[in-house]
Amino acid sequence: MLVDVRLLGPVELRTAGGRLLVVGSAQRQLVLAALAVDAGRAVAMETLIDRVWGEHPPAQVRAGLYTRISHLRGVLTTAGPARPPAAADDGLGGPDGLGGPDRLGGPDGLGGPDGVGGPDGVGGPDGVGGPDGLVLTPGGYVLRVDPSRVDLLRFRCLVTDAHRRDRSDPDRLELLAEALGLWRGTPLAGLSGDWVEQVRRGWELERLDAALDWARLALGVGQPAQVIPTLRQLTDRHPHSEPLAVLLVRALIGEGRVAEAAQVCQTVSRRLVADLGVHPGHELRCVQQAVLGGRPLPPPTPRRPPAAPAVIPAQLPADTPAFAGRTAQLSRLDSLLSATGAAPTAVMITAVSGTAGVGKTALALHWAHRVAHRFPDGQLYVNLRGFHPTGQVMDPATAIRGFLDALGVPAQRIPADPDAQTGLYRSLIAGKRMLVLLDNARDADQTRPLLPGAPTALALVTSRDALTDLAADGAHPVPLDLLTDTEARELLERRLGTTRVAAEPAAAEQLITACARLPLALALVTARAATNPRFKLAALAAELTAASQSPPDGKDVIGQVRAVFSWSYRALSPDAARLFRLLGLHPGPDTTAPATASLAAIPTAQARPLLADLVRAGLLSEPTPGRYGFHDLLAAYATHLTRTEDSDQERGAVAERLLDHYTHTAHAAARHLDPARDPIPVPLTPPAPGATPEQPGDYDTALGWLDAERPVLLAAQQHAARTGRDTHTWQLAWALDTALDRRGRWHEQTGAWQTALPPAGRLPHPAAAHAHRLLGLAAARRGDHELAHTHLDRALHLYTGADDPVGRAHTHHALGILWERRGQPDRALEHDQQALTLCQAAGHRSGHAAMLNAVGWCHALLGDHTAALTYCQQALTLHQQLGDRYGQAATWDSLGYAHHHLGHHTHATDSYTHALTLARDLGDRYYEATTLTHLGDTHHAAGHPEAARAAWATALDILTDLDHPDADTVRAKLTAPDQQPP
């Protein structure tokens, strides 16, 4: 039995021959739809009830569901006998179709041993009607229908197929046209209910995205007339969609219908202002101005198809140990999730709010861990630090870049524009079942860019703010109050044991009262009690009560919890108490034992047990091994203590030691990454007394330390800038530069140098020139050529004024890189020759080697390969004498390129092999891809097409990950009919 289930219009069930099967009433259709969206997967009874009846099911709901299930079984039985699946050439059963091993029918899809036809009860003798039917399994009801025959699922599969990297534009166009052809009107037409409305909105947005992609492709191949009717129809359904309006205008202009195009622009602009109170975006404004001015339309903004995450993120911190209470709130969260079904089909935003220390994070994490299995595509987490005592609230763009990291996006692929970053983030999780936990948000504005756009995602937000503004975005509030007496007692029992609490009920009640039923305070009390199991609770309660300045009155909860802090703090040893206070001065999100040792001017061996003491006391957390952090309230308390108990001189010394620790360690690590780099232009002074910087022993250790400490180093630099420490601010930017560049983190590289630029103007030469030069290089790598010229010209002016020939040489080389990227190697050669002359005259050996290679490379680009070999061989010899592996890698690649174009294929292959080995050792993926591309060219020219394809394919994977424009060139090599390199 093969049946087709149609949801993208009126709900229909048809046989393979096209015969319509009568499903019956609207509720029977709804049961069918609720099962079909998860065809081949078990749908729990509770989920079915939620989808069909919502939050108010009838009294005998299960009996009603059984009746409808029984009816559907009978309808399926009438479909007829089973027959084999469609042949491979019809696109459904073959290896490239929807039924093959890479699609919905194979071992990795829904038809394998864990899905349809498997041994888990779905394909056994209890099934109805042979291979298809409706059966009950331990996990719930399974509609055993080939998912490729459910129009919604087939639509999604075709869209995914169209976004595959190896698809040509004509293939994409055909696949998207087929996907859009499955729509027959309003999905689930004639049905109603919360679930229906939610999924309908989500599916309509999926259709819109697919239609936009299809229209872009069709316009790209010169088919404007074909897209106009569809775009007109979609404009009526989505009157505020600017991308849709832009495409419709382009199509109308393509057909010469200028007046209609102008009318569309005006209509959409009026709607945006009248309905939403916003003005048209940049692209629509540019198009409208061109239409009204009678000018050619600007080129369309390129849109890359969403790429699937390379990894499944699992960012949730550990669940709170011995979590207790909050039954009502957990049930509320469960019911909200159930309202969207096993797979949420509309973006659900849940806002957990409450006072500081009330346990918002603990509740959110506990519930998130409970339901993580329902989000198999991953869980994202970020602490937005909305109320951190340092005032360093996390910028949403920083949080999004962290999410993109977690989703496997190379830093080089992250666009410069914050809105584009948000768009990429939402594209990556579109269609994914993901949980996004935004912890400790300051307000709704901080969270909005981070909210997923995927109808299958769930956003869980915690904040001290009530986040009422998020209600407009559909947020469900979950306010969190103090624990009840029963919940507080349960927490004590979980942490101390039922026997111990039951033995002293009055003392337990006294502790609960003293802690004002605030979870954070109770956690501190139980931590103190757990470390002293022989202490009577009555003694602890008396001690805590005596430490309080006034009896608890239930009004000033934060005041009462500070009394608990004070009690816990006074129980520390003098050394641990001092360390706790001084940690309040740390500017970063977390710290390590070596950094803490410098902060406190103690040996690392002494810092480790003191940190462990603070963790045991509940005053510090260790979310990951070896990294320590504060609760915001405890950080604020520690900051208050150090300001009242430590002198200004001591606090200043702490800041100097900590900044010296990070600056000196980062400098040592940077030296491992680039040993041939010029000495730091603003020299380091010896570290402050008591500071003990770390000494990374090798390249890998250095790069690992810089990666792990990057957020702390950037926060430390910001702190140095805010507190007027100009030298530290500049030196930290210098120390971070190589690592950020190698990792392609050009946004952060730019930010670090922008922070350092004002202090650089107050420091001696060449601090400002150096900042401008490296800002220019970062802009060039981001593709912002005009900004790059501005900074590089300024740097050259400053170096010239200071009579600094080496600085001028570096700047000329940077300008050479910029002109090469702009496609003008002759201009690049002019600058590189000037740089070479300056380095030779100054006796600057590493610069001399780098410029020899640069001049040789420019000669190769201009076709003078013999001269290229002469220059590059000199460069290689000098790089080898200096031990500069990075320079050697670049030069071996240049030599390979020249040998290739002279027909020396064996020498070229050998050169590229040397370059590849070094590039991989250094972890520079762009150089690796460039060399692989060149190596593929040589293999092809030497008559080894398979080796060429292998090299090009690997290069394409890397460049696609980096979102580098060179990927198009390599793709052309792979898809050319004769595979001739361009």
Please choose, from the candidates 685, 665, 688, 661, the residue with its C-alpha nearest in 3D space to the C-alpha of residue 597.
661
Q: Worst-scoring range by mean pLDDT, 410-419, 938-947, 954-963?
A: 410-419
Please give the pLDDT value at position 397. 83
Strand order in the sheet with 348-353: 379-383, 435-441, 458-463, 348-353, 475-479
813 vs 855: CA distance, rounded Å: 10
* φ and ψ of 650, to 5 deg: -65, -40
Q: Would you state the structure tokens that stand for residue 494, as one six-digit string?
A: 């979980």
Helix (H) or strand (E) holding 159: helix 151-162
Residue 96 scores a pLDDT above 70: no
Contact present, 763 and 728 (Cβ < 8 Å): no
Contact present, 693 and 661 (Cβ < 8 Å): yes
Q: To the nearest whole percent, how much of the chain has pLDDT over 70?
A: 86
pLDDT band per the 50, 70, 90 thresholds, residue 109: very low
Which of the given ranges, 258-272, 389-403, 825-839, 940-954, has the highest pLDDT on average? 825-839
C-alpha distance across the termini of the chain, in Å: 52
The answer for residues whose C-beta is within 8 angstroms of residue 290's C-beta and 6 or more apart is 296, 297, 298
Q: What is the tens place of the pLDDT at every residue in 672-720?
A: 888 888 899 999 999 999 999 999 988 878 988 998 999 999 999 999 9
Residue 97 scores a pLDDT above 70: no
Q: What is the tens place of the pLDDT at every residue in 435-476?
A: 999 998 888 888 888 888 766 788 899 988 877 777 666 778
Residue 924 scores a pLDDT above 90: no
Mean local confidence (pLDDT), 492-501: 86
Residue 975 scores a pLDDT above 80: no
Please give the pLDDT value at position 798. 95
Please give the pLDDT value at position 625. 81
Mean local confidence (pLDDT), 420-449: 84
- Give Cα separations from 273 to 266, 471, 954 (angstroms): 11, 22, 48
**Which residues lie across from 722 on neighbouring strands?**
none
Mean local confidence (pLDDT), 92-116: 31
Torsion of CA 928, 933, 935, 938, to 10 degrees: -170
Q: Is the dihedral of CA 717, 718, 723, 729 positive or negative?
A: positive
Q: Worst-scoring range by mean pLDDT, 9-13, 165-169, 737-741?
A: 165-169
Residue 512 scores a pLDDT above 80: yes
Strands 140-144 and 458-463 come out as: unpaired
Strands 348-353 and 475-479 come out as: parallel
Q: What is the tens place of the pLDDT at every residue in 862-900?
A: 999 999 999 999 999 999 999 888 899 999 999 999 999
747 vs 757: CA distance, rounded Å: 15
Please give the pLDDT value at position 87. 34
Contact present, 156 and 454 (Cβ < 8 Å): no
Higher pLDDT, 817 or 128: 817
Q: What is this structure's pTM?
A: 0.59
Higher pLDDT, 129 or 53: 53
* φ and ψ of 621, to 5 deg: -115, 160
The answer for residues whose C-beta is within 8 angstroms of residue 321's C-beta and 6 or more apart is 495
Q: Would you state the structure tokens that stand for residue 338, as one six-digit string?
A: 């159930």
Q: To the nearest whole percent, how much of the chain has pLDDT over 90?
A: 31
pLDDT band per the 50, 70, 90 thresholds, residue 575: very high
